[in-house]
Amino acid sequence: MNWDTVIAGGTVVSAEGKQRADVAIRGERIVAVAKGLARQASPATRIVDVAGRYVLPGAIDMHVHLDLAVCDTVTSDNFDSGTRAAARGGVTTIIDFATPYGDDTLHDAFDNWIRKADGVSHIDYGFHMCLTRGERHLRQVPEMVRLGIPTFKQFMIYAREGWQSDDGQIFGALEMMRQVGGTLLVHAESCAVLDLLVARQHHPAAMKRHGVLLHAMTRPSFIEAEAIQRAIKWAEVTGGRLYIVHMSTGEGADLVRHARRRGIDVWSETCPQYLVLDESVFRGKDGHLYATSPQVKTEADGLRLWQGLRRGEVAVVSTDTCSFTRAQKDRWGGDWTKLPNGMPGLETMVPLIYTRGVLAARLTLRQLVAACCTNPARLMGLYPRKGVIQPGSDADLAIIHPTHKIKVDWRKMETHCDWNPYQGWSLAGFAEHTFSRGRQLVENYRFIGQGCGGQYLPREPVAPRLQT
């Protein structure tokens, strides 16, 4: 048969199960998945022998901030370094957050983000649109849906950045989501109580005494839980679909579970840092580097979130990649409220979930594929083009070795970050080979992509049916 490439001899994994099969690629698409395809290939077909490996759908990281101006600086990863890092980690699709600056329209933000990514990104990309100007932005939502953006984001905090939405704005946005078939992504933290707790500690004596521990001390779990509970109520009464981003607490998982049982259309995502790190990181020498928003919580929270992934109340793992170098983090000068919050994550997401989840018997491989590939594709309007290995789907593949471990070392990574939260950890699950629409981006664990061939992915509003 006249195929370009056959990925031969591996175990193909889906959200339903796994099977020994070859994968045939023509052009940018998968055209066949079956045993023995390599034997039927024409002599010109390239055969990639992946015997003993797992063949996964390329992962979808639907929570990424690249080339974002924030905290008087710009994230250290842009669409070049960020998507190189992604490819090494087996991620073949990202969805970034287009964010209007000042009084920009949503269309301004869309144009701005296309400019950042077009001709720069190595993998396919889409955007969520942040709603930061109440009614004015809400009126522009249908236009964004026509441009392929059915997912919107509101922040319950970040008044200082001019991004905050109040309850009325969240309520109104959820009503609009119901009308257009969209999904509202919410950063759920309770602003008024958070501000109060911060103000109580924001003086030199406390900062000298506690340092970056204040980041955790001023954000107890109820800061997230109360906000999730409130957002869920607005989803319940409006019927708009709600998606809680970067959920960090066990209490949040409980709330989402109970809401879903009552038939409320709420979904949630967690991130590797909430699963594999805990607040002891803030006690270390470089504790301030680990500041994220929300911050990593306790080991018990992490265990509850793993359970949520197994049971389905946590549907997605994405990274909230938002990288800052040591120099950028060092601007905090001992004041935790000045810390640029965020960490690199694209390169290590699948390896962390594979090593700490699958190899540690917390998740099955099928559940990893559901959380990192298939569920995000379904929820984000990309299925079955992405998130599954079947004829007709894009040839986005991540091939991983079941046991081969690599030691994390920022010096050898693609991310433009001069530190890594998992420095020195030995992880299996880095992509040995990565294919994006048939083009090989990673070979033998090294990035080899050329030409920045990532494309903008317009997305459709969807009614997702999830596999968990």
Q: Report 332-351 residues binding Zn ion (CB under 5 A).
A: none
Report CA 38 to chain centroid distance, whole Å: 34
CA separation for the pair 267, 249 (Å, rounded): 14
Q: How far is the CB of 161 from Zn ion (least distance, A)?
A: 12
Q: How far is the CB of 396 from Zn ion (least distance, A)?
A: 23
Q: How far is the CB of 70 from Zn ion (least distance, A)?
A: 10
Selection from 82, 89, 83 nearest residue 122 by Cα: 83
Size, binding site for Zn ion by CB under 5 A: 1
Closer to Zn ion by Cβ: residue 75 or 468: 75
Closer to Zn ion by Cβ: residue 269 or 320: 320
Q: How far is the CB of 246 from Zn ion (least distance, A)?
A: 6
Segment lying near Zn ion (by CB under 5 A), choices 115-123, 171-179, 315-323, 378-386? 315-323
Q: How far is the CB of 200 from Zn ion (least distance, A)?
A: 26
Q: How far is the CB of 63 from Zn ion (least distance, A)?
A: 6
Closer to Zn ion by Cβ: residue 76 or 434: 76
Selection from 310, 300, 296 nearest residue 362 by Cα: 310
Closer to Zn ion by Cβ: residue 155 or 447: 155
CA separation for the pair 322, 38 (Å, rounded): 41
CA separation for the pair 94, 66 (Å, rounded): 10
17: left (phi over 0), alpha (psi -120 to 50) or beta: left
And the tokens for 155?
Answer: 């922040």
Segment lying near Zn ion (by CB under 5 A), choices 24-32, 249-257, 320-328, 397-405? 320-328
Segment lying near Zn ion (by CB under 5 A), choices 303-311, 319-327, 363-371, 392-400? 319-327
Q: Report 177-216 residues binding Zn ion (CB under 5 A).
A: none
Q: How far is the CB of 52 from Zn ion (least distance, A)?
A: 37
Closer to Zn ion by Cβ: residue 313 or 320: 320
CA separation for the pair 431, 125 (Å, rounded): 19
- Classify residue 47 by burial, with Cβ atoms within 10 Å: 0-12, 13-18, 19+: middle
And the tokens for 434?
Answer: 């990565």
Q: How far is the CB of 174 from Zn ion (least distance, A)?
A: 19
Closer to Zn ion by Cβ: residue 80 or 320: 320
Residue-wise over 103-137: b if at least 16 C-beta within 10 A, else e?
A: ebebeebbeebeebbeebbbbbbbbbbbbbbeeeb
Closer to Zn ion by Cβ: residue 293 or 467: 293
Segment lying near Zn ion (by CB under 5 A), choices 41-49, 150-158, 248-256, 314-322? 314-322
Q: How far is the CB of 55 from Zn ion (least distance, A)?
A: 30
Closer to Zn ion by Cβ: residue 279 or 320: 320
Segment lying near Zn ion (by CB under 5 A), choices 229-237, 312-320, 358-366, 453-461? 312-320
Q: Which helix (H) or strand (E) holds 412?
A: none
Closer to Zn ion by Cβ: residue 67 or 320: 320
Q: How far is the CB of 429 from Zn ion (least distance, A)?
A: 23
Residue 166 to residues 173, 191, 291, 307: CA-CA distances in angstroms? Answer: 11, 9, 25, 31
The residue from 124, 320, 394, 396 that contacts Zn ion (CB under 5 A) is 320
First and final CA of the chain: distance in angstroms? Answer: 36
Q: How far is the CB of 126 from Zn ion (least distance, A)?
A: 15
Q: How far is the CB of 415 from Zn ion (least distance, A)?
A: 16
Closer to Zn ion by Cβ: residue 137 or 246: 246
Segment lying near Zn ion (by CB under 5 A), choices 300-308, 318-326, 372-380, 451-459? 318-326
CB distance 370 to 13 below 8 Å = no
Closest-by-Cβ residue to Zn ion is 320
Closer to Zn ion by Cβ: residue 265 or 320: 320
Q: What's the alpha-carbon Rg for the chain, to the nearest Å?
A: 21
CA separation for the pair 229, 226 (Å, rounded): 5
Q: Residue 155 forms beta bridges with which residues?
A: 164, 187
Segment lying near Zn ion (by CB under 5 A), choices 139-147, 269-277, 313-321, 356-364? 313-321
Q: Which helix (H) or strand (E) holds 255?
A: helix 250-261
Closer to Zn ion by Cβ: residue 272 or 449: 272
Q: Which helix (H) or strand (E) holds 33?
A: strand 29-34
Tell me the three-class secondary structure of 184-245, residue by residue.
EEEECCCHHHHHHHHHHHCCHHHHHHHCCHHHHHCCCHHHHHHHHHHHHHHHHHHCCEEEEC
Q: Does 301 bind Zn ion (CB under 5 A)?
A: no
Residues of this chain that interact with Zn ion (CB under 5 A) are 320
